[in-house]
């Protein structure tokens, strides 16, 4: 599932492709991608509007228009694809042989931006205002923003009884962290994911904040080299497994001590950690 670094890399690559372009037409090829909004809403709001910029909030991609905005959420397996023109879209989108799966397509003045999710969990919505989206309005501090300060983070931790891993994945607290990078941050901070958030001492909270910032920065650097290639429908982020220290490494030796990485379940998701050095 794309988390903050992947989405940020997508937005940085997307912005120069779409900035200033007018949306000539909107094609909804799989209506499930826009539900529960009415099928016509996306086209009515976005058609003939000009994209001011591509932006991000948490795990959302935002297309900020000269009036209103469009939100794209990848959920588990969504991605963006790019076509040179409408003819290429017609020839390749959802074709039986050598086709590219496309749920929604924005036909621009130069090129076509497609949203693809074969599993149909991802969503594309249109809004008159940022505040109209309950998902956006409920997001907490973005983990890459200047507002994500150590002191404020410490206050948030002190007010919660939730296990650390669950706390970090709560998008109403810190927006952008998911299963992978929350676990990685806790390993770097040497903290047990089962500990209560309020149990952290000030120094431990500071250490966790530093770990989050560091882990996300390193992952973003990896996601940008190479940058996303929307023209290749099979493209995906490469090399991230090289920077992971615990995620997906059940039964393997800890890269810091003599312990063994273990997997437990928290909130229906797998958590990987080292019992020996994460306290």
3-state secondary structure of 254: coil
Q: Using CA atoms, how far apart are residues 147 and 165, in angstroms rounded to an integer? A: 21
Which of 194, 269, 275, 276 is the catalytic position?
269
Which of 2, 163, 193, 228 is the catalytic position?
2
Bridge partners (DSSP) listed for residue 82? 113
Which of 59, 123, 207, 249 is the catalytic position?
59
Burial level of 7, CB count in 10 A (0-12/13-18/19+)?
Answer: buried
Q: Using CA atoms, how far apart are residues 171 and 185, in angstroms rounded to an integer? A: 16
Kindly state the tokens that stand for 203.
């120094």
Q: Are 272 and 247 in contact (CB under 8 A)?
A: yes
Neighbours of 187 (CB within 10 A): 26
**Cα angle for residues 177, 6, 238 (degrees, 5° grid):** 125
* 3 in active site: yes
Residues 6 or more apart in contact with residue 28 via CB below 8 angstroms: 34, 39, 42, 43, 103, 104
Kindly state the tokens that stand for 76.
């588990």
Positions marked catalytic = 2-3, 59, 269
């Amino acid at each position: 599932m794309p988390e903050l670094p992947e989405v940020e890399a997508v937005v940085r690559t997307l912005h120069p492709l779409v900035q200033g372009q007018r949306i000539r037409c909107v094609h909804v090829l799989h209506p499930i991608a826009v539900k529960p909004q009415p099928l016509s809403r996306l086209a009515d709001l976005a058609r003939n509007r000009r994209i001011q910029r591509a932006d991000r909030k948490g795990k959302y991609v935002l297309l900020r228009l000269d009036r209103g905005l469009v939100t794209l959420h990848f959920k588990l397996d969504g991605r963006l694809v790019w076509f040179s023109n409408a003819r290429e879209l017609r020839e390749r989108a959802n074709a039986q042989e050598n086709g590219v799966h496309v749920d929604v397509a924005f036909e621009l003045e130069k090129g076509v931006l497609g949203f693809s999710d074969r599993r149909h969990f991802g969503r594309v919505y249109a809004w008159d205002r940022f505040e109209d989206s309950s998902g956006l309005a409920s997001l907490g501090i973005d983990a890459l923003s200047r507002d994500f300060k150590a002191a404020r983070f410490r206050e948030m931790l002190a007010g919660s009884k939730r296990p650390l891993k669950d706390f970090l994945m709560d998008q109403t607290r810190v927006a952008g962290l998911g299963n992978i990078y929350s676990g990685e941050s806790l390993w770097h901070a040497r903290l047990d994911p089962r500990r209560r958030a309020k149990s952290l001492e000030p120094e431990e909270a500071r250490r966790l904040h530093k770990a989050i910032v560091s882990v996300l920065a390193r992952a973003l650097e990896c996601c940008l080299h190479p940058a996303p290639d929307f023209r290749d429908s099979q493209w995906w982020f490469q090399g991230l497994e090289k920077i992971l220290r615990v995620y997906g490494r059940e039964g393997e030796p800890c890269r810091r001590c003599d312990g063994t990485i273990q997997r437990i379940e928290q909130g229906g998701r797998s958590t990987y950690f080292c019992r020996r050095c994460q306290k």
